[in-house]
Amino acid sequence: MITSPTRPLIAPSLLAADFARLKEEVIAVEQAGADWLHLDVMDGHFVPNITFGPLVVKALRPHTKMPLDVHLMIAPADPYVTAFAEAGADHISVHPEAGPHLHRTLQLIRSLGKKAGVVLNPATPIEAVVNVLDLTDLIMVMTVNPGFGGQAFLSSQLSKISALRTLIDESGRDIVLQIDGGITAKTAPAVLAAGATCLIAGTAVYGAPDYAEAITAIREAAPPLPPETFHSPGG
């Protein structure tokens, strides 16, 4: 069932965690108040980095009640969707460029009982998602080029976030608008003002000495927006 929180959702990115202590790092951010756990899956082909696969998702699943928000930066994505779904992913997001048939990929994700997301790189126009809104639960805007954490926020993407906010509102659909890349307490206000409802933060959380303090600082970086602005696909 879809709920409507009155605050931004915060999803720490495991990419910035201590890989030698992944279980402890997951538990720590959940206790610190995180809403979702974001997992960046990279193949060294679609993006210039390699991270982890379904086995890591499966290993972490028993240790948290947070929804596992899996971002597939792999090509092709379709052959691996089922494996991540079976491993315990709650949300699976893909790039339009990662396969020939985005519509079919989103159908596959949903057929497995998972929430489906579309990820827009900095150069990917919003038109890429217009014709699949009926199959989309999440739209993620990359405010850095995907592949590495710790990059600087691309303010050029704020107009895209605003345009997507309008598109979502006009559609009347419950679609989470996620932002990933360079999110900090300093960049969050502009992103939230543009209409974002979920902020993915890696270094800003896992690089901070106090995870709870970091999450609170990002979440409270801007005045609360009207409750109807926020939507969540739940677990």
Q: Which of 35, 43, 90, 180 is catalytic?
A: 180
CA distances 123 to 5, 126, 141, 147, 160, Å, are 30, 10, 10, 15, 10
Among candidate residues 35, 40, 69, 90, the one labeled active-site is: 40
Q: How far is CA 231 from the centre of its chain?
A: 14
- 43 annotated active-site: no
119, 75 Cβ separation under 8 angstroms: no
Residues placed in the known binding site for a divalent metal cation: 38, 40, 71, 180
Q: Which residues make up each annotated binding site?
A: 13, 38, 40, 71, 147-150, 180-182, 202-203
Q: Which of 197, 199, 201 is nearest to 229 (CA)?
A: 197
Q: Which residues are annotated as a binding site for substrate?
A: 13, 71, 147-150, 180-182, 202-203
Active-site annotation holds for 90: no
* Alpha carbons 38 and 70: distance in angstroms, whole number: 6
Active site residues: 40, 180
